């Protein structure tokens, strides 16, 4: 039985407890949640209260109800769907400006805090980028490039920064692919080598500058694409 928080309404208590199950990974993304009778017993709430809680979590994007099938977990955090929708409706150049702010701070923190394991993860991601370019597979490059940047953010060892960045960049791989196809991929690979070296040597200012150059170049290619 889950404990309730008396300061909240019953529906809010149920929502919060379900959200905790999702965020902790007890209910992973893609899982079909237990039936109404099971949840009513576990949470000790009425059917109407439970349904109100489910509706609230469906509205935030954590859950999705499939008619005649059940309710499924579709995001690990309420922050994710909100940010992803906002990014989809935001101008690409504005998104790059936000990425610059997050990636700059992430690179500085990574340079200060990175471990050998962090560096090895970055090297593997960069190697995957090079292989994708060699094979002419731009979709694979986009995925590997995003993995490289996320590995840098992960090396910051700041969970909130990681969550913000991962949710914000969840839908931008396609735009990365477009930039690469329009540009000299060798330029971005060289820039990423410079960024990795700066982080490895714990040169915080150089890491921040490498991010600035990368983002500015990406902006130029977006602007060229628009004509």
213 band by pLDDT with thresholds 50, 70 and 90: very high
Residue 17: its pLDDT value, please? 92
pLDDT of residue 200: 98
Residue 194 has pLDDT above 90, yes or no: yes
Distance CA(142)–CA(129), nearest Å, equals 8
Can you tell me whether residue 135 is helix, strand or coil? coil
Element at 60 (helix H, strand E): helix 47-60
Asked, for residue 162, whether it belongs to a domain, the answer is yes
Both 22 and 104 in one domain: the answer is no
- Of the candidates 76, 105, 122, which is a domain's last residue? 76
Closest CA to 86 of 75, 95, 96: 95
Domain that holds residue 52: 10-76
pTM higher than the cut 0.85: no
Residue 80 has pLDDT above 90, yes or no: no
Q: Kindly state whether residues 92 and 171 are assigned to the same domain.
A: yes
pLDDT in tens, 14-61: 999 998 898 888 998 889 999 999 999 999 999 999 999 999 888 878
Same domain, residue pair 202 and 136: yes
The model's confidence at residue 77, banded by pLDDT at 50, 70 and 90, is: confident
Averaged pLDDT, 150-158 = 96
Report d(CA 208, CA 198) in Å as an integer: 9
Q: What is the mean pLDDT of the chain?
A: 86
- 105 and 145 in a single domain? The answer is yes
Query: Which pLDDT belongs to residue 52?
Result: 94
Angle formed by the axes of helices 138-154 and 185-200, to 10°?
Answer: 20
Strand-pairing partners, residue 73, are: 63
Residue after which a domain boundary falls, among 76, 96, 115: 76
3-state secondary structure (DSSP) of residue 32: strand
Q: What H or E segment, with its residue span, contains residue 70?
A: strand 70-73
Task: Summarize pLDDT for 118-150 with one digit per residue, the tens.
Answer: 999 999 999 999 998 888 888 888 889 999 999
What whole-number distance in Å separates Cα of residue 162 and Cα of residue 168?
10
């Amino acid at each position: 039985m889950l404990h309730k928080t008396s300061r909240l309404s019953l529906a809010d208590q149920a929502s919060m407890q379900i959200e905790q199950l999702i965020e902790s990974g007890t209910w992973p993304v893609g899982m079909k949640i237990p039936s109404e009778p099971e949840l009513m017993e576990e949470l000790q709430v009425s059917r109407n209260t439970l349904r109100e809680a489910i509706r609230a979590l469906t509205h935030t994007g954590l859950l999705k109800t499939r008619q005649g099938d059940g309710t499924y977990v579709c995001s690990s955090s309420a922050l994710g769907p909100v940010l992803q929708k906002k990014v989809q409706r935001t101008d690409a150049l504005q998104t790059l400006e936000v990425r610059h702010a997050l990636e700059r701070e992430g690179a500085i923190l990574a340079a200060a805090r990175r471990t050998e394991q962090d560096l090895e993860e970055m090297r593997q991601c960069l190697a995957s980028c090079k292989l994708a370019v060699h094979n002419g597979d731009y979709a694979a490059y986009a995925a590997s490039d995003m993995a490289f940047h996320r590995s840098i953010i992960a090396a910051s060892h700041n969970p909130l920064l990681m969550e913000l960045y991962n949710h914000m960049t969840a839908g931008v791989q396609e735009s990365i692919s477009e930039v690469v196809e329009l540009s000299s991929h060798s330029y971005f690979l060289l820039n990423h080598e410079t960024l990795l070296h700066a982080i490895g040597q714990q040169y915080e200012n150089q890491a921040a500058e490498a991010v600035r150059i990368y983002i500015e170049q990406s902006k130029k290619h977006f602007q060229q694409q628009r004509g």
